């Protein structure tokens, strides 16, 4: 069963990165009016997001919040982790957009638009994966 869930997590990771990158490309294109700029931001983000996500996971793995009254695997921990990741991800998008376009206001617009769209898309992505059984052999 462990191999099945690992495959599920890998598939979820890949599908989310695809959805997230397409969202960034589309938003960047719409905001800048330039499809090439959208592609540049989206593809740069794939690399930076993987690096940042790895370090985010390592930091959260090393934090022991049970000493502070929050159980290590609690919903509070997951909510905090979700918000910190969204903050890191949005900041990354804003900085990349600023660097690629040369305009800090454009970076801010893309980051703020992404903040809303990513939350909606992530919810829909999670609902989709909740409904399918891939990687869950014992689920009815």
Does the residue 13 lie in any domain? yes
Q: How many helical (H) and strand (E) elements, i.e. helices and strands, does the chain have? A: 4, 0
Local confidence pLDDT in tens for the 140 residues of the chain? 456 677 887 888 888 889 999 999 999 999 999 999 999 999 999 989 888 888 887 887 777 655 655 555 566 777 788 888 889 999 999 999 999 999 999 999 999 999 889 888 888 888 888 888 887 776 55
Question: In sequence order, what E strands does 4-139 have?
Answer: none
Say if 65 falls within a structural domain.
yes
CA distance readout (Å), 104 to 13, 16, 56, 90, 110: 30, 27, 25, 14, 10
Asked if 113 and 101 touch (Cβ cutoff 8 Å), the reply is no
Does any domain span residue 139? no
Measured in degrees and rounded to the nearest 5, phi and psi for residue 74 equal: -90, 165
pTM check: above 0.85: no
What is the extent of the structural domain holding 27? 2-131
Inside any domain, residue 67: yes
The C-alpha atoms of residue 128 and residue 139 are separated, in whole angstroms, by 15
Q: Residue 105 falls within a domain, yes or no? A: yes
> Is position 138 within any domain?
no
Residue 140 lies inside a defined structural domain of this protein: no
Query: Residue 140 is encoded by which pair of tokens?
Result: 């009815």
The verdict on residue 35 lying in a domain is yes
Question: SS3 for 118?
Answer: helix
Instruction: Specify the pLDDT at position 9.
Output: 79
Q: How many domains does the chain have?
A: 1
Rounded to whole angstroms, the Cα distance separating 118 from 111 reads 10
């Amino acid at each position: 069963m462990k191999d099945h869930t690992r495959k599920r997590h890998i598939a979820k990771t890949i599908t989310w990165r695809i959805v997230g990158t397409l969202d960034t490309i589309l938003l960047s294109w719409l905001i800048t009016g330039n499809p090439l700029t959208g592609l540049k931001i989206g593809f740069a983000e794939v690399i930076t997001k993987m690096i940042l996500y790895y370090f985010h996971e390592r930091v959260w793995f090393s934090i022991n919040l049970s000493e502070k009254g929050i159980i290590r695997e609690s919903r509070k921990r997951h909510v905090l982790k979700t918000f910190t990741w969204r903050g890191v991800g949005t900041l990354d998008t804003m900085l990349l957009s600023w660097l690629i376009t040369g305009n800090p206001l454009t970076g801010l617009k893309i980051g703020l638009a992404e903040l809303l769209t990513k939350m909606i898309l992530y919810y829909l992505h999670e609902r989709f994966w909740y409904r399918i059984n891939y990687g869950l052999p014992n689920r009815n």
